[in-house]
Amino acid sequence: MTETRLDKPHVTIAPDGSLDHAEIECGCFLGEDEMPAPLPFNEAMAKIKNWVRANSLNIIAYGTGCGAIEMRPLGTSRFDMERIGITMAPTSRQSNVLVVSGYLSVKTLKRVIRAYEQMPMPKWTVGLGSCTIDGGMYWDSYNTVKQVDRYLPLDIYIAGCMPRPEALIAGFKELMEKIKRGEANGWNEYLQNLDTYKANQRKVITDWGMPAYNW
Amino acid sequence: MEKIVNELESRFGLLSHREQRADLGEVCIRAEKTVNVLEWLKNHTGYVHLTHFSVVDWLEENEFQLTYLVTDPDAHHTLMVSARIDREKAEAESIHALWPEAVTYEQEFNEMYGIAFPGSPRQGVEFLLEGWNAMPPMRRDFDTVEYCNETYEFRPGRVHVDPKEVRMKFQAEQKRLAEEQKQREEATANSNEPEPQP
């Protein structure tokens, strides 16, 4: 992340093909060789930014499957995720963490893609439960996607069916450490490999019915 | 129960009937009589509440069974009214005029089993499946595993353990051990036999 966090406005091609003159904060559409050399000041700033970001996670209040039931005790008084700096946000524009909580049906995948693409960058995703890893107990279900990371980049997986709130806290702590180290770059990989992700998404979503990219 | 069965028998003709519990009975009727029977039950008896509405896929007999559960709340009695329709030309009369809540059931059966209910609103409107191109998935001849293998990618390294195979392997192992034990016992019994005296 440290290399890509150089603040410089770019005129670049938007994922839907049109020329985008908006000032994008980071050089997320640049290839590795196009990156300007990192300056010491920028590196230090990136570290500070990462530290701040790791301690202010806003989860979008959206549950995809049964695993969402474990988010409620996590948010309320017994486990209380606000004491470690995680809180819930009502809309995708106000949040930066998406928790894919449990199995993901094709119909839900569409809504999750919309929510994820509308979230401001940088953003992170957490796969909750075994279903997000390889389908779990829904391995032979006709309407459930098996590998969620073919359609969305996932930064952390929390295994279990379902994981307890303690496991979720451990997972979020790990995500925070990853953000501080600057390794949680799923959002950046998503934009760099957008064609692959979009092709995979269109393979299962036969009636697309939404913009190519939901800004 | 007997009274209502006799009434239905004389009015519409029943294929069969049975009493499952004190508060649950079943009558089987011809499919074309369904709406008449339910209308009569609703308007002239106490069975005014549609408790449940379901479909059973009898693949071997090439039939769908539609089961309507109607309840008499005063008598605390539920009547299962079941009718069978052809599986190839799956079409049944809609009961949405009697109970509007049946519309959702009929929409879902249309989507999941491919049964048509002509005249029912929201027929063909997507309910759970969006952009579904294959056979209706709740039909028993729909192979979910094959569909999954075609549509989705599995993560390499996934191991599938079938409990039945594990049990059979365990039983075979137990059998083998028991036979070995038996042979060993026989061998020791033979060796313990007194040697014939010269």
How many alpha carbons fall within 13 Å on the CB side of residue B51?
A: 14
Q: How confident is the model at residue A214 (pLDDT cuts 50, 70, 90)?
A: confident
The pLDDT assigned to A21 comes to 39
Q: How confident is the model at residue A26 (pLDDT cuts 50, 70, 90)?
A: very low
**CA B72/CA B53 separation, integer angstroms:** 16
- Model confidence pLDDT, tens digit, residues B18-74: 998 899 999 999 999 899 999 999 999 989 999 999 999 999 999 999 999 999 999
Q: Is residue B92 part of a domain?
A: yes
Shared domain for B121 and B183, answered yes or no, is no
Residues paired with residue B53 on neighbouring β-strands, in sequence order: B68
Whether residue A138 is predicted with pLDDT greater than 80 in this model: the reply is: yes
Q: Is residue A118 part of a domain?
A: yes
CB A187 within 8 A of CB A139: no
Whether residue B159 is predicted with pLDDT greater than 50 in this model: the reply is: yes
Closest chain B C-alpha to A107 CA, distance in angstroms = 6
The pLDDT assigned to A11 comes to 42
Q: Is residue A171 part of a domain?
A: yes
Q: Which residues in A lie closer than 8 A to residue B129 (C-beta atoms)?
A: 106-107, 143
**Nearest residue, CB atoms, B155 vs list A110, A133, A140:** A133
CATH number at residue A117: 3.40.50.12280
Q: Is residue A41 part of a domain?
A: no
CB A123 within 8 A of CB A57: no
Whether residue A16 is predicted with pLDDT greater than 60 in this model: the reply is: no
**Nearest residue, CB atoms, A145 vs list B131, B142, B152:** B152
Shared domain for B153 and B167, answered yes or no, is no
Q: Is residue B63 part of a domain?
A: yes
Q: Is residue B198 part of a domain?
A: no
The pLDDT assigned to A122 comes to 84
Indicate the number of domains in chain B: 2
Shared domain for B139 and B181, answered yes or no, is no
Q: Is residue A29 part of a domain?
A: no
Token pair in block for residue B143: 């192979």
Closest chain B C-alpha to A140 CA, distance in angstroms = 5
Q: How confident is the model at residue A19 (pLDDT cuts 50, 70, 90)?
A: very low
Token pair in block for residue B46: 């106490």
Shared domain for B50 and B145, answered yes or no, is yes
What is the pTM for the complete model shown?
0.77
Average pLDDT score over chain A: 81
**Nearest residue, CB atoms, A207 vs list B130, B151, B160:** B130
The pLDDT assigned to B160 comes to 77
Q: What are phi and psi of A91, to 5 degrees?
A: -125, 165
- 0.90 surpassed by complex ipTM: no
Shared domain for B51 and B136, answered yes or no, is yes
- Model confidence pLDDT, tens digit, residues B103-150: 999 999 999 999 999 999 989 888 888 888 889 999 999 999 899 888
Indicate the number of domains in chain A: 1
Q: What value does the mean pLDDT take over residues A92-119?
A: 91
CB B15 within 8 A of CB B28: yes
Shared domain for B49 and B77, answered yes or no, is yes
User: In angstroms, how far is CA A110 from the centroid of its own chain?
Assistant: 15
Shared domain for B113 and B172, answered yes or no, is no
What is the span of the domain harbouring residue B168?
163-190
Whether residue A23 is predicted with pLDDT greater than 60 in this model: the reply is: no
Helix count and strand count (H, E) for chain B: 5, 5
Token pair in block for residue A53: 């970001």
Whether residue A3 is predicted with pLDDT greater than 50 in this model: the reply is: no
Q: How confident is the model at residue A46 (pLDDT cuts 50, 70, 90)?
A: confident
Q: Is B135 on the interface with A (CB under 8 A)?
A: no
Whether residue B164 is predicted with pLDDT greater than 60 in this model: the reply is: yes
Shared domain for B178 and B143, answered yes or no, is no
Is B185 buried (19+), middle (13-18) or exposed (0-12) by CB count in 10 A? exposed
What is the span of the domain harbouring residue A161?
58-204
- Cβ within 8 Å, pair B153-A150: yes
Shared domain for B117 and B171, answered yes or no, is no
Q: Is residue B197 part of a domain?
A: no
Closest chain A C-alpha to B155 CA, distance in angstroms = 6
The pLDDT assigned to B174 comes to 95
Residues paired with residue B80 on neighbouring β-strands, in sequence order: B26, B69
Amino acid identity of residue B40, one-letter, is W
Closest chain B C-alpha to A9 CA, distance in angstroms = 38
Q: Is residue A102 part of a domain?
A: yes
Token pair in block for residue A138: 């829904």
**3-class secondary structure, A36:** coil
Q: Is residue A28 part of a domain?
A: no
**Nearest residue, CB atoms, A140 vs list B128, B134, B144:** B144
**CA B102/CA B51 separation, integer angstroms:** 10
**CA A189/CA A191 separation, integer angstroms:** 5
Determine the residue among B139, B148, B150, B161 to mutate to test chain A binding: the one whose Cβ has the most chain A Cβ atoms within 10 Å: B148
Q: Is residue B62 part of a domain?
A: yes
Q: Is residue A167 part of a domain?
A: yes
**CA A100/CA A135 separation, integer angstroms:** 13
Shared domain for B7 and B64, answered yes or no, is yes
CA angle, A151 then A156 then A162, to 5°: 90
Shared domain for B126 and B173, answered yes or no, is no
CATH number at residue B68: 3.30.460.80
Shared domain for B142 and B185, answered yes or no, is no
CB A67 within 8 A of CB A129: yes
Q: Is residue A159 part of a domain?
A: yes
The pLDDT assigned to B105 comes to 93
